[in-house]
Structure 1
Amino acid sequence: MKRKGMMAVSASMLLAGMQLGTGWWSPAAARAESSPSFAVYVPTNMDKILRDDPVPQQAAPILQMAAARNEYEGGQVIVHAGDQALSRLQVSISELKQEGGSAKIGKDQIELFTEHYIQVTKPTTGAYPAGWYPDALVPLNGTLQVEAGRNQGIYVKVHVPKGLPAGNYTGEIMLHETGNPVRIPISFTVWDFELTDESHAETAFTLWGDQVAAAHGGVEGEAYWSLLDKYYWASVEERLTPSYLPVPTGDVEEFVRRAEPYIKNPKVSAYRLPVYTKTDGSIDVPKIQALVDLLRSKGLLDKAYFYPSMVDEPGPARYPQVVSIAEQLREAAPDVRSFNTTQPVDELTGSVHSWVALVNKYDESFAHQLQASGDHVWWYTSVVPKDPFPTYHTDDDLLGSRLLSWEQKDYGVEGTLYWSTTIFQKWNGQKYVPRDVWTDPIAFPGANGDGYLFYPGYDLGIDGPVPTLRLENLREGAEDYEYLWRLEQLVKQSAASLGLGDEFAAHDVLQPFFDELYTNMRDYPEEPERLLEVRKEVAGLIAQLADDPQGVPLVTVRKPDESSRTFSVYTAKGAQVQIDGEPLEASDTGAGYDKFERTLTLEPGMHEVEIAVTKNGETKTSVRKLQVAESYPYAAPLNEADSEADVSRWTKTGVTLHLTDAFSTSGGQGLQADFSSGVKFPNIRLFGAGTGFATADWSSYGALQFDVRNPNPDRTAVFYVKFHQTNGSSDDTHFVSVPAGQTRTITVPLREVQLDLTQMKGIELWMFQLEQPFRLYFDSFRLTSKTPGGTMVPGSEQGAG
């Protein structure tokens, strides 16, 4: 569960230091005749240190960075002024020199930025406070001003050139105003592999050209396209390819001619085709055919897709229009994807083949089912969802949005969409109006920072974009994805060299890394250092497999249940294997490999499991870190839907309830719920300690579970599970999707419910207003428990949770 407090200052960084003079200082850098009047703090590149946050003391500040070749890496240094303002703090950085070699990363590969703070007066959610947040990264001209008693962030961005020798590189950042200079050591590790120019996760991060033009003085003509080109490549260099190409779309031949250099560039992951329409608004099929035919003839169609914005985020009432447009685009271009911003629903399957779901509505099971039939699935985030889901909002942590790239690889999501990176104006409910982007964080109502990841450089005399801390963090995540892609390819190559078939589960080799970082996208420890450590582990395995594909054992980890893990170790023939010191016998052999297997039962917490492989007298060891959650293997009934008394404990609005023999997973009957059409938020509610359930204290239980069946043959069930607290608070962030004809067990971990679990009023299942009635079957509402025999049915003897 995410923990809120000071923005991501990690406990491991709260090191003892010294207070000298008027500022915080550290003994490692304080060997000076006169003390500087400021403190220095080095957080991770995922920490957001607000302007007025208290700054932890550090005994020996050092900027530690690591990256592969052909990768950018960012770092931060926070300066905290003492009792007096810093009027001219000089900042410089050296080149980075290879230890034990002659290679270097020159100053031309290093950029320095000052972090611009923007004031959030109305927080997006209650999870993070109002305050001055670091956001825009303004090129640093060598000097800084810092107000007394306040923080100023310095952002360092290093590019590792292709072909650079691996190893450790060192340098320093020097800060000087009064007293002796402060020298912050830099230790930069270059790992022994190189990222490709290609990005293997597609993106569509849209640039709004009209807003860019207005923010740069109203440029027109070729100057307009030249300006958009700068924004376009600035985004591509962050591995976030914009949707539209920065070329005119009106004339087909001109579009193809000017688009070709972009499409052929390996750094461009995908591009959006114009959806031409006639004067009456209908799709211009002949013109689209002409465009697609010309692109196909030049071999330029592979990266193309449509995104018909006239049916953006459609509700059920617009499904017929979605189907009509999909059919017309398929007629014009049967070999081009056409994305729709909606989670997969049965009503559109067969017509829509490319889906873009909100991250909180991504249904992994349904998505994989559709992908197996040839469909494509992306996801996106925007104003919604908000915390606890990952966002790009100014007042949210950076770790969650970076983890989205890991989750994207884990869940098999092919691409990411974002509606705009350049909303420099403000939506007032009817139109966009001017705003001061440097002081007003709201571009679109509802979320600070949503709709823009750049600032306009025009205000600073820059003919192009100014990046943000949020943008740089998304690039870091995109590069993490490339690590995972690279590792997966090497695992597959190693498996092939051992003679393992295509059925080898390469994903199971990566799974422990994912499990170290999160349970799901809304449930992860706020520990940026953990992600950096896992990234280091992934990098190490990449380097080992690249160097010796057959000499490195392949270790898969599966989870039979919450408290056990099954290790399978695949080695070249003739090796001996031990897991945590226990020798294993081969459980399977093939032409080129032996397989060893062991299942461990583990207590909750973090575990390190050692795998030792001995071959030809040489032993190599590796460690897999495993995060094991608390286990709740038993069920405490909450409402069993087996009697009229069970039915009567539910209250309802716009829903008819009764027992049914048509569905049962426990006992003899189930609950039939008919949700009416034309009712705002039809719902059923199980409320009240002592009447609806035994007690308001749910804190000893693990999760709410229930079984649901959607009997409709061609409609997906979409509803929410809402939790209520006795003081009137609620948590309405739990989305459920059940495809047509399917039965599912729904599990909502109670650690994800953002309420006081000792004061629970109850649960509610609700839908948005329906155009047609919808029937669902439910059964066996229960809370998972650590011990057997418990119950939450009112009037029964309550067992321990």
Structure 2
Amino acid sequence: MPTRSHLRSTITLLLTLLFFIATNSQETHATTDDAWWNNNWPYRISIEVSQDGPVAANLNFSELFDNLGLNQALLDLRSIRVIPYKDGKPGSPVPFQETYSTLIIDADSLGDDTSGHWIPEESISDIRIDSERFTQGIGSLYLHARILDSSLSENGFSFQFNSSSLGDWSKYETLLYDVCSEVNNEAIDQTPDLYSFELYGLTNCPIYEIKGPGLAINRWNGVSVSLKPYGSCLSPNLSDIEAMKFQLKVNMPWDNGGYFDPGDEVDFWMDNFRLVDQDGDGQIIWNAMDEFDKYYIYFDTLNHEGHPKPAMDVFDEPILTSSLGEPEAGGYFHKIDGVSDNQITVWNAPPTEKIIQTYKTPIASQPLEIHAAKGEFEPIQLVINSPSEQTLPISVGNLFHDNGRNIIDASYFDIFRVDFVEISTLSDQYSRLGYFPDPLFPINNHQSVTFKTGLNQPLWFRIKVPLDATPGTYHGEIIIGKTNIPIKLIVWNFELPEGLIFNSKFGFNLDQAIEAYQAGACQEAFKASVDETFHDYRISPSFSENPEIPDEVLLYTLSSYEVVSAHDLQIELGKKVWWEFTYTDTPPFANPGVIDRTGVESRILPVLAWLDRVDGLVYLKTNDWDIDPWTQAFSNGASNGDGYLFYPPNEPFQPCTPEGTRLIPSIRLELLREGLEDYAYLWLLNKGNPAIGIENKSDSLASGIIQSDTLFSHNPTSFYDIRDKIALLLESEVIDSNIYFFLPYVCH
């Protein structure tokens, strides 16, 4: 029996680990000898300063992103941090001033003849300036909306620009503003999708309306609107913007829900409307001190939006510095300790981050380490860059336990080559033209892969930890050509449920797949392979034309889901509520079916379902190959990837062999399975399914990265932090998980 002293030591160690995970600001080694400040920030640039006092740096962020190999990336202005360094060690962020954004509406008045005016429509019963709640200046715009029986299907409020100069947004990439909202009880069902956003005056653009931003109620939200692209419009003409409109939509008899109803009331506060020119003459200004050797400016893209707001200040007469270094990648992108770059360059990226072929190799270095429960699938994404075209064998060996006795055989690994599909039509504002990673082409252990000169080739290694694995630390190697890559696996002392974790129905056209795989002579064996694949992805296949949904199930799309009415039906009538994700679920709603969205969106849906007490997921088609998705990703005319989570075979194969019956999955499907295993972690911590109206420990952890159905962390490592916290809690029930409640920034 352990002694009290031993138990205290164990608790102290676990609390230390929890604090380490919660802060996630550990330093990583960098080849420049300057430690990486915080792993949640993937990019930085060094600034040499030779004097005290206010200094300024002019950074062209579009050029920096190009140098980092990103494809027309947009800056998340709120992500900027100025970090002082001494002897290679980072200090705490210092306050700074930025001049990349231009204030266009201060919301201190209802308008004037020079700039323009706020115009309410019939649903707005009160409009005024609130001098008590604001984020800048002396007030914010306040509006009260009341939906009546006579309300039109679309109405709201707008800002009409009077000045042609204020309406010329040609040089700007992003619109920023702050919004806070509150609703009455009747309108809770419409949160958090409260309004759509429209720009009037756009030309050469087929759309002017997009869904509103991701919001959490009863707190200030920092909103970012991409202007280039604007929705799915690649190159909008922004030279003559006439108005911004915030549109409230009202349910009509022909609608499927998701809009306002008579009796709904909403309060809005809006402030601090700014336009961002990320590649103009903007500056970062701060107060330099001679005790520091240099400064680094850390920054991130809009796709990773969600960093806390930085500390800001104002400085007079700064001195402009031109001593800028090269932009660097690091943080959760890192090389691997103990690997030389003689033959190839190898680095690691979170599986939730989709790596394009031109990303710059990171300078930071860490060990390659993964954590998993018994019975869990866990992927590793390695990125290979070769200085010349070469074909190299890929292999993975056994994993050996530190106790010297136990082994996880290499056969528990699956290896995939990450392939790319060309995006020629944008799905939405997250998209860019060019080649996106999505297909995962299965390869055998010791099979060779061709690496093209100077282009990133990701490889995907997936281990299924055996249910009878001995908990603890294992070590092994992945070998690419002559390059040995050490890997460390920590197996937690608990197991995930085998097979299905969450109710689901995913359509699979078996006849079409049998034809594509020439499996007519081995139909039963092929179907068994399909069943096994679906089992591994923890989803249930439906081989009928339309997936059979149980009679007791009510089906909602994400954007039409109404939480209060759904919960009432679940409680009063014993109904089950399932979500179906479709092409209509455009941002800010997550959509695992879209190739050119962030990886987070493929993974987060099961965790959202946990918080909303949703009982299952539906996706109608996973292999709609009527049009070849390898050559036309936008094959269904809805969004890139709609209708297929698997790809048809595109290389020669021998039918009715083990290799000839393997399905080709997608990164989206892999990440969805990761989300379903996140759900299993929450289920284990709660010791069962969540109950409507009753908070649990798992809710508090999930709420740390999810504030609403449309507002959630886009940091690709957030899920791993939650898993590690839950694992430590499952292994030591003496720790109180209530310390992880999310604390919002309230409007008041």
Range into which the TM-score falls when normalised by the shorter chain: 0.5 to 0.7
Q: 1:163 to 1:506 in 2, by over 3 A?
A: farther
Give yes or no for the alignment of 1:388 onto 2:503. no
Unaligned runs of 5+ in 1: 19-23, 247-270, 273-305, 308-336, 339-352, 427-434, 493-502, 546-551, 557-623, 634-801
Shift of 1:525: 2.3
Measure the CA separation in 1 of the matches of 2:507 and 2:735: 43
Identity of aligned residues (%): 23
Q: Return the letter of the residue paired with 1:202.
A: N
Shift of 1:16: 9.0
Instruction: Name which of 577, 588, 591 aligns with 1:377.
Output: 577
In the TM superposition, 1:291-440 aligns within 5 A as 306-307=548-549, 337-338=550-551, 353-373=552-572, 374-391=574-591, 392-426=593-627, 435=628, 437-440=629-632
Q: Return the letter of the residue paired with 1:112.
A: I
Partner of 2:666: 468
Partner of 1:195: 496
Partner of 1:680: none
Q: 1:27 to 1:467 in 2, by over 3 A?
A: closer
Partner of 2:362: 56
Partner of 2:380: 75
Q: Residue 212 of structure 1 contacts residue 228 of structure 1 at CA under 8 Å; is this kept in 2?
A: no
Q: Per the alignment, in what secondary structure is the counterpart of residue 628 of structure 1?
A: coil
Measure the CA separation in 1 of the matches of 2:431 and 2:479: 33
Q: Return the letter of the residue paired with 1:375.
A: K
In the TM superposition, 1:100-179 aligns within 5 A as 100-141=403-444, 142-176=447-481
Partner of 1:315: none
Partner of 1:599: none
Q: Per the alignment, in what secondary structure is the counterpart of residue 504 of structure 2?
A: strand
Shift of 1:26: 7.2
Partner of 1:323: none
Shift of 1:6: 8.5
Measure the CA separation in 2 of the matches of 1:536 and 1:59: 21
1:405-448 deviation per Cα after TM superposition (whole angstroms, max 9, x unaligned):
1111111100000011111122xxxxxxxx3x323212311211
Shift of 1:130: 1.6
Partner of 1:513: 701
Q: Residue 305 of structure 2 contacts residue 714 of structure 2 at CA under 8 Å; is this kept in 1?
A: no
| TM-score scaled by length of structure 1 | 0.49
Q: Residue 442 of structure 1 contacts residue 448 of structure 1 at CA under 8 Å; is this kept in 2?
A: yes
Q: Residue 337 of structure 2 contacts residue 365 of structure 2 at CA under 8 Å; is this kept in 1?
A: yes
Q: Per the alignment, in what secondary structure is the counterpart of residue 125 of structure 1?
A: coil
| TM-score scaled by length of structure 2 | 0.52
Q: 1:491 to 1:137 in 2, by over 3 A?
A: closer
Query: Whose Rg is larger?
Result: 1
Shift of 1:365: 1.0
1:521-559 deviation per Cα after TM superposition (whole angstroms, max 9, x unaligned):
3212211212101111112212224xxxxxx36655xxx
Q: Residue 404 of structure 1 contacts residue 521 of structure 1 at CA under 8 Å; is this kept in 2?
A: no
Partner of 1:444: 636
Shift of 1:506: 6.2
In the TM superposition, 1:608-757 aligns within 5 A as 624-633=739-748
Partner of 1:204: 505
Partner of 2:401: 98
Q: Return the letter of the residue paired with 2:643.
A: G
Q: 1:58 to 1:89 in 2, by over 3 A?
A: farther
Q: 1:26 to 1:401 in 2, by over 3 A?
A: closer
Greater RCO between the two (CA within 8 Å, min separation 6)?
2
Q: Return the letter of the residue paired with 2:380.
A: G
Measure the CA separation in 2 of the matches of 1:6 and 1:147: 30
Measure the CA separation in 2 of the matches of 1:92 and 1:116: 18
Q: Per the alignment, in what secondary structure is the counterpart of residue 59 of structure 1?
A: strand
Q: 1:370 to 1:490 in 2, by over 3 A?
A: closer
Shift of 1:518: 1.4
Partner of 2:720: 532
Q: Residue 173 of structure 1 contacts residue 186 of structure 1 at CA under 8 Å; is this kept in 2?
A: yes
Q: 1:28 to 1:7 in 2, by over 3 A?
A: farther
Q: 1:27 to 1:400 in 2, by over 3 A?
A: closer
Q: Return the letter of the residue paired with 2:637.
A: P
Q: Residue 113 of structure 1 contacts residue 139 of structure 1 at CA under 8 Å; is this kept in 2?
A: yes
Q: Residue 501 of structure 2 contacts residue 676 of structure 2 at CA under 8 Å; is this kept in 1?
A: no
Shift of 1:511: 2.2
Q: 1:140 to 1:36 in 2, by over 3 A?
A: farther
Partner of 2:536: 237
Shift of 1:123: 1.7
Shift of 1:632: 0.7
Partner of 1:215: 516
Q: 1:81 to 1:459 in 2, by over 3 A?
A: closer
Shift of 1:397: 1.0
Q: 1:393 to 1:415 in 2, by over 3 A?
A: same
Q: Residue 488 of structure 1 contacts residue 506 of structure 1 at CA under 8 Å; is this kept in 2?
A: no
Q: Per the alignment, in what secondary structure is the counterpart of residue 364 of structure 2?
A: coil
Q: How many residues align?
A: 423
Q: Return the letter of the residue paired with 2:674.
A: E
Q: Residue 417 of structure 2 contacts residue 458 of structure 2 at CA under 8 Å; is this kept in 1?
A: yes
Q: Residue 419 of structure 2 contacts residue 439 of structure 2 at CA under 8 Å; is this kept in 1?
A: yes
Q: 1:506 to 1:103 in 2, by over 3 A?
A: farther
Measure the CA separation in 2 of the matches of 1:629 and 1:209: 47
